[in-house]
Amino acid sequence: MSVSSLSPLAATVASLIGWAFLPDFLTVTALRLARRAGLAFAQSPAIPTSSRAYRITYSLVIASYLIYTIVAAVYTAPRNLYEVLGCTPGATETDLKYAYRSFAKKFHPDRIGPEGEAAFIVIRDAFETLKSPVKRFAYDRFGPDALEWTAATYREAIHQGLTASLGFYISTTIFTIIVALNNHSQVLVRLFRRSY
């Protein structure tokens, strides 16, 4: 089961847990493998410079995961409806109609055959979405997820958008508090041990 097939809340929690434990695990594993391979930078943990090797390896693990995440997001992100129509986000309804009609003249399935039908449907759907003020408002603020909503008014669009993103913010806040309390308790334990 991949993280992308989870619900948004479960995916957020899985991502936070992964970021909390996985980098350290991968760093320790990479350093162990480097030590077994006899690489000079991966010295014994007893040597003082090994903390520097750990920090460098940890930074490389984090940087690698960030690069992977960015590349995956770029390739899996849906196309922007404005790019599909060839307009800017500030385009007026007249500009949208002009872009749609000029595309329809060139690529209508009646004109170029069935191979243009899929592209025409994508353009038509983009135009239908952006010509509706409420759908455009929701799309501009909440992204492609707003295309699946049934909001008829601006108020409903805002309500659905906030409701959809609430789980992310609640889970992130809870996780941040847990991590902060855990770190705080570790600091208190260290201070307590030093005092005796």
Residue 113 lies in a domain: yes
Count of structural domains within the chain? 2
CATH number at residue 117: 1.10.287.110
Residue 53 lies in a domain: yes
Residue 28 has pLDDT above 80, yes or no: yes
Both 63 and 119 in one domain: the answer is no
Residue 186 lies in a domain: no
Residue 1 lies in a domain: no
Given this model, what pLDDT does residue 18 score? 77
Both 112 and 89 in one domain: the answer is yes
pTM for the predicted model, two decimal places: 0.59
Both 61 and 110 in one domain: the answer is no
Residue whose pair of structure tokens reads 């770190």 in the numeric block: 183
Give the 3-state DSSP-derived string for the chain, with helices as H, strands as E and coil as C.
CCHHHCCHHHHHHHHHHHHHHHHHHHHHHHHHHHHHHCCCCCCCCCCCCHHHHHHHHHHHHHHHHHHHHHHHHHHHCCCCHHHHHCCCCCCCHHHHHHHHHHHHHHHCHHHHCHHHHHHHHHHHHHHHHHHCHHHHHHHHHHHHHHHHCCCCCHHHHHHHHHHHHHHHHHHHHHHHHHHHHHHHHHHHHHHHHHHC
Given this model, what pLDDT does residue 77 score? 79
Residue 171 lies in a domain: no
Residue 86 lies in a domain: yes
Work out the angle at residue 163's Cα, subtended by the Cα atoms of residues 17 and 77, and round it to the nearest 5 degrees: 65
> Distance between CA 79 and CA 81 in Å, rounded?
6
Residue 69 has pLDDT above 60, yes or no: yes
Residue 179 lies in a domain: no
Both 67 and 85 in one domain: the answer is no
Express each pLDDT in 76-95 by its tens digit: 877 889 988 888 888 888 99
